[in-house]
């Protein structure tokens, strides 16, 4: 935890808070909350400018151009874009605030951001700045190598297929993820995965998926990595061995009850750096967004306390 922030440290007429709004997030909920938080911020005396997205990539561009702190009004996908647009200042990114308004909002929950616009506005006016971890993922596809930052998780295999199945479903939270899991189940296809973890290589083995978590819950509150912490300098790696469709359903039931880590098909490890080499092209998802369908290698590293948050609980 850093020292308490003074309003003049973060906001000013030359560096107003940039409010990035994804109006379609949460089925339009973000648009309504954006109006409410603008009124609350004005009442709190916080100078601001509003930027509204109309297409993918807008949030990243708005964050890059922001003169100071950024408030993301949307879901985890909006947060992901903003994070990847934030310029580095003295080796850190931000400050970043979030008004949760999406279908999952897992990062906002982990960081303790208030869902009430009035509460968030007051925290932004008087609260402390907190430094938390984020991750960096480098992955190889048929079109070359890409590098992106993430705050929730990045994963390859079946879990990414579930994220792909989420697209277009008119649901929220755990029900959205569980429904998408059932849709993805019929095209389940394990892959041979070789992992290099903190310099140690493990033999390749058939995997259902491998996911690196920075927060305890993903998929709208499912406790994939219940012991994960935002500021411990580690990612929680969840490897799930190949299993049948019935086996996957069994694991899903255990996941909902927080009993999956005791299953012998599940291996949990805390890592600072890791690489997954895939025996065939596999799908990849990050922060609740489907990213690529044909990844052959994924390398991750923890960026310890590199992300500054303002207004978090």
Residue where a domain terminates, one of 109, 127, 145: 127
Give, in order, the Cα–Cα distances in Å from 8 to each of 4, 11, 37, 125. 12, 5, 20, 10
Is 154 found in the same domain as 76? no
Do 122 and 44 contact (CB within 8 A), yes or no? yes
Average pLDDT over residues 11-33: 85
CB of 220 closer than 8 Å to CB of 103: yes
Tell me which residue range forms the domain holding 243: 134-305
pLDDT interval class at 5 (50, 70, 90): very low
Exposure letters 95-117 (e unless 16+ CB within 10 A, then b): bbbbbbbbbbbbbbbbbebbeeb
Rg (CA), the chain: 19
Question: How far, in Å, CA of 64 to CA of 67, rounded?
Answer: 8
298 and 209, same structural domain? yes
Residue 24 above 70 pLDDT? Answer: yes
* pLDDT surpasses 80 at 9: no
Structure tokens at 200: 């140690």
Residues 98 and 157 in one domain: no
As for how many domains the chain has, the answer is 2
- Predicted structure pTM score: 0.93
């Amino acid at each position: 935890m850093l020292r308490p922030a003074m309003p003049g440290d973060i906001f000013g007429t030359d560096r107003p808070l940039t409010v990035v709004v994804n109006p379609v997030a949460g089925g339009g909920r973000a648009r309504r909350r954006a109006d409410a938080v603008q009124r609350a911020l004005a009442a709190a005396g916080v100078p601001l400018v509003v930027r509204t997205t109309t297409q993918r990539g807008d949030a990243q561009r708005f964050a890059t151009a922001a003169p100071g702190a950024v408030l993301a009004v949307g879901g985890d996908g909006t947060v992901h874009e903003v994070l990847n647009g934030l310029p580095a200042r003295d080796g850190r990114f931000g400050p970043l605030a979030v008004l949760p308004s999406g279908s999952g909002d897992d990062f906002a929950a982990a960081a303790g951001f208030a869902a009430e616009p009035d509460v968030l506005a007051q925290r932004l006016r008087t609260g402390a700045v907190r430094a938390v971890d984020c991750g960096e993922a480098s992955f190889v596809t048929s079109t070359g190598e890409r590098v992106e930052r993430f705050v929730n998780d990045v994963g390859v295999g079946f879990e990414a297929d579930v994220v792909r199945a989420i697209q277009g479903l008119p649901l929220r939270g755990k029900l959205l993820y569980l429904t998408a899991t059932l849709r993805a189940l019929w095209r389940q296809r394990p892959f041979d995965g070789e992992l290099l973890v903190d310099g140690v290589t493990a033999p390749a083995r058939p995997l259902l998926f491998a996911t690196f978590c920075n927060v305890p819950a993903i998929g709208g509150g499912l406790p994939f990595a219940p012991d994960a912490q935002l500021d411990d300098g580690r990612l929680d790696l969840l490897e799930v061995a190949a299993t049948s469709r019935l086996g996957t359903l069994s694991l899903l039931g255990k996941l909902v009850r927080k009993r999956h880590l005791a299953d012998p098909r599940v291996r949990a490890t805390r890592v600072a750096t890791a690489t997954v080499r895939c025996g065939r092209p596999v799908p990849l998802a990050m922060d609740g967004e489907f990213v690529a369908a044909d990844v052959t290698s994924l390398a991750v590293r923890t960026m310890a306390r590199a992300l500054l948050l303002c207004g978090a609980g």
